[in-house]
């Protein structure tokens, strides 16, 4: 698994598409995915765990939707 850190968004972030993308790549339910999107829109950075083989594809799709995202370094990821 790899961790993608979503650190912000551009003005035209597509909220519903973003939530759907989180569901698709992270395998989370609707409520969890929506909560991640809402936290992002409230100004929090959020970490999303995804299959390492799909990380670059996930990053590209996030950016297409208006998210500002990066691959989190293993030392940056909080355990817990």
Q: pLDDT tens per residue, the chain (80 residues)?
A: 999 999 998 888 888 999 999 999 999 999 999 999 999 999 999 999 999 999 999 999 999 998 999 999 776 655 44
* Confidence (pTM): 0.85
The domains located in the chain, with CATH, are 2-76 (3.30.1390.10)
β-partners of residue 67 are: 9
Cα 14 off chain centre by? 13
Separation between Cα atoms, residue 24 and residue 50, nearest integer Å: 10
Tokens for 39, please give them: 């936290």
Separation between Cα atoms, residue 59 and residue 70, nearest integer Å: 7
The dihedral through the CA atoms of 60, 49, 54, 4 has a sign that is positive
């Amino acid at each position: 698994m790899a961790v993608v850190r979503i650190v912000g968004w551009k003005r035209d972030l597509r909220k519903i598409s973003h939530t759907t993308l989180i569901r698709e790549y992270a395998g989370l339910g609707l409520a969890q995915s929506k909560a991640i999107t809402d936290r992002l829109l409230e100004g929090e950075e959020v970490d999303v765990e995804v299959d390492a083989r799909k990380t670059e594809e996930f990053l590209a799709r996030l950016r297409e939707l208006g998210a500002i995202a990066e691959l989190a370094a293993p030392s940056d990821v909080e355990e817990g």
